[in-house]
Structure 1
Amino acid sequence: MRYSLIFHAPDPGADGPAPTEEDIQEMMRLMDDFGQALTSAGVFIAWEMLTPAQTATTVTRKTGEVVIEDGPFAAAKETLAGVVVIDVADKEAALAWAEKFPGTSYGTIEVRPAATSFVDGQWTRP
């Protein structure tokens, strides 16, 4: 079953000092190790780390017209920083991978099962 490990974290330097270059390099090494472990285990589907929230553009049609605005949808202490999609047997396996995610030292991982997935040109359900 597919699960998304949804990573929420403060934007770098937004709340306190910005990480040092050494901090960034160490986290990149840890993230690479995590990605390699997912791949070796055969559960890796996709991973996207995102630019800071202030680079976001939001699009809505709630009023009947398309409205495009610069900036994130809402101000929050932690913002969406990345998403890892994995395919594992069950929730316990997804949680075990989430526990190993290096970013939990400064952010939060939300573990959420997929309801449907668009794979190879078609929608599938678990």
Structure 2
Amino acid sequence: MTQYLLSVHHGADEDPYAEDPEAARPVFEAVDRFNQRLRAEGAWVFAGGLEPIDTTTTVDATGGEPVLTDGPFAEAKEWLGGFWVIEAPDLDAALRWAAEGSRACQGRVQVRPFQSA
């Protein structure tokens, strides 16, 4: 089976729960149900939610000494909010999982296969 990254992306100006974090509870519960289904069907590999983008530190070690910068490397239109790594028999199955995950987290989900070894 192929492993796929299902990544949840938010727009730069999207933080629907910033003012009322309690409003996120139904979304977290829906994502938990989705995670349980992934596990039950054997598709689960790993998943995680990420802290807000302003907690980012960028490391650039392409020169002589590593340079650490607070925040993302560049202003972005989107930011990564979380992800799943799943196993699926093909892209169509991964896309079905992504649609279900998108519904659960109420966000856009990108699907990318991992490189084969």
Distance 1:26 1:16 in 2: 15
Residue 38 of structure 1 aligns to a residue whose secondary structure is: helix
Q: Structure 2: which 5+ residue stretches go unaligned? A: none
- Which residue number in structure 2 is paired with residue 24 of structure 1? 24
Q: Could you tell me the TM-score, scaled by structure 2's length?
A: 0.86
- Which residue number in structure 1 is paired with residue 89 of structure 2? 89
Distance 2:4 2:15 in 1: 32
**Offset at residue 15 of structure 1 (A):** 4.3
Q: Could you tell me the TM-score, scaled by structure 1's length?
A: 0.80
- Residue-by-residue CA offset, 1:1-56 (whole Å, 9 max, x unaligned): 10000111147xx5476353442110110010010010011110000110001001
After the TM superposition, which parts of structure 1 deviate over 4 Å for at least 4 consecutive aligned residues?
14-17
Distance 1:100 1:90 in 2: 16
Q: Structure 1: which 5+ residue stretches go unaligned? A: 117-124
Task: Give the residue type in structure 1 aligned to 2:50.
Answer: L
Q: How many pairs were matched up?
A: 113
- Which residue number in structure 2 is paired with residue 77 of structure 1? 77
Distance 1:59 1:67 in 2: 6
Distance 2:38 2:14 in 1: 31
- Which residue number in structure 1 is paired with residue 53 of structure 2? 53
